[in-house]
Amino acid sequence: MIYNQDARNIKKFISNSSISTTITSPPYYNMKDYGDKEQIGYGQSYDSYLNDLQKVFKNVYDVTKEDGSLWIIIDTFKKNGQVVPLPFDLTSKLVEIGWLLQDIIIWKKDKTVPWSHNGFVQRKFEYILFFTKNKQYKYYKDRVRIYDTSQLKKWWVKYPERYNPKGKALDEVWEYPIPTQGSWGNKYIRHFCPLPMDMIGTMIQLTTDVQDIILDPFAGSGSVLIQASYMNRKYIGFELNKSYIEMFDKYLKDTLDTGRKQYKLFLINKGQTDFEKTILDLRALKYARVIQKKFLENEKYFIYVESIGNTQIKNKLIKVKYIFISDNKLIKKNIEKLKELTNKPPLSKFGIEPVFEFEENFNNLNIENLNIYSYTKTNTYRTHGKINDINNISKEVSIISPIKVVLDENDYEG
């Protein structure tokens, strides 16, 4: 639902605490005329403007679920020769209400209105303020991790234990260019400050579930509401300008099917699944290399590495079998000592539940029908090659596994 109503009257239309998250960009203070005599901002004093916003967000607080949240996109401005810190003045007003400020994010938007004054450079970013109603709140950071390896440094190859298998966490600078006017189609409304749909989608992924209700008290051209609908969330919006609502209704009707299909493809998320598998494979192999280097370095033996599924142990990610192959019975005794060290660094940092076994020769492994790959003591992120004869292995090889990894850290320079 989108109401052609003043945002100060939210509680007349939402009577219970049903909102999961609110995503909005309040009207610019006295800088833009949005075309309604009841609008907040234009023509007001700064104190009246802040007081009206406080009233709006008090109402938002009251209709928000206990585990709910609030995202505000906002910027500073200049008045009477000095910068007015609107984001921080507004934050003080919201803290008075009871909102808890959890994070301040920089939205690096690049394209922007080319305003500049003496002592005030062209604006290339805005603030994103993230508030919650309580200390316990919905926040799904694994959904929005960066798993595109082209965006990672080469160290993820050499040090997989340092990287979350789901990907790199978002940092405090988000880069999303402002949509160019007309990029949503010639018939769609030309709003003053359209928000990037992908940025809105990130906020929705972080703080809501399917069928949750998302609110935008200053709906404008409806970017938040449209993205919410694409992502199978419900929405409520408030907007004073009827022409915006009419254009929003038509645009949503024309694009809903396509938007939902795109979101469904996004949920498949094969890229993140592949990245997770690669990180866990790298960890499983390097774990064996660390054992050989730090604990049993002076002995001659092979380690067979095989992932054997999920683990039930808290803070562990994967269960891996390590079979030590040697005719030296002292290796078997050393393995028992090694078990005591698995819960201490560096082995404890890999998130692996190890299963250690011992065999005197390769013939007991029953791996004749498997594709087996070889690795050296110094490199487990690029296979030394496929093993064709298990009884005739290169002297350089010390680790063998059905896990195949072929990565070059130099491919990720930059």
Q: Is the pLDDT of residue 319 over 60?
A: yes
Q: Is the pLDDT of residue 146 over 70?
A: yes
Q: Are residues 298 and 328 in the same domain?
A: yes
Which of 96, 100, 85, 70 minimizes the C-alpha distance to 10? 70
* Among 222, 249, 268, residue at a domain's last position: 268
Contact 325, 399 (CB under 8 A): no
Q: Is the pLDDT of residue 31 over 70?
A: no
* Most confident by average pLDDT, 110-114, 247-251, 302-306, 335-339: 302-306
96: helix, strand or coil = helix
Q: Is the pLDDT of residue 47 over 50?
A: yes
Taking residues 272-285, what's their average pLDDT?
95
**pLDDT, tens digit (0-9, with 9 covering 90-100), for 95-131:** 999 999 999 999 998 755 555 555 556 678 899 999 9
**pLDDT, tens digit (0-9, with 9 covering 90-100), for 196-247:** 999 999 999 999 999 999 999 999 889 999 999 999 999 999 998 888 899 8
Instruction: Name residue 378's amino acid.
Output: T
Average pLDDT, the chain: 88
Q: Confidence band (pLDDT; 50, 70, 90) for 28? A: confident
Q: Is the pLDDT of residue 368 over 90?
A: no
Q: Domain of 25: which CATH number? A: 3.40.50.150
For residue 144, what pLDDT is reported? Answer: 93
* pLDDT, greater one: 71 or 394: 71
* Among 221, 249, 268, residue at a domain's last position: 268
Q: Confidence band (pLDDT; 50, 70, 90) for 41? A: low
Q: Are residues 321 and 229 in the same domain?
A: no
Please state, as a whole number, how many other Cβ atoms lie within 10 Å of the Cβ of residue 216: 25
Q: Is the pLDDT of residue 348 over 80?
A: yes
- The whole-angstrom separation of Cα 235 and Cα 299 is 65
For residue 382, what pLDDT is reported? Answer: 95
Residue 63 burial class via C-beta count within 10 angstroms: exposed 0-12, middle 13-18, buried 19 and up: buried
The DSSP 8-state label assigned to residue 205 in this structure reads H
* Among 239, 268, 297, residue at a domain's last position: 268
Contact 319, 311 (CB under 8 A): yes
Instruction: Name residue 407's amino acid.
Output: L
For residue 135, what pLDDT is reported? Answer: 97
For residue 187, what pLDDT is reported? Answer: 44
Which of 5, 22, 25 minimizes the C-alpha distance to 62? 22
Domain, as residue range, for 341? 271-412
Contact 70, 64 (CB under 8 A): yes
| Helices (runs of H) and strands (runs of E) counted in the chain | 8, 16
Q: Which helix (H) or strand (E) holds 215?
A: strand 213-216
pTM score, whole prediction: 0.84
For residue 353, what pLDDT is reported? Answer: 96
Q: Are residues 303 and 326 in the same domain?
A: yes
Q: Are residues 254 and 317 in the same domain?
A: no
Write out the two tokens for 60.
């938002």
Q: Are residues 242 and 316 in the same domain?
A: no
Q: Is the pLDDT of residue 43 over 70?
A: no
Q: Are residues 222 and 303 in the same domain?
A: no
260: helix, strand or coil = helix
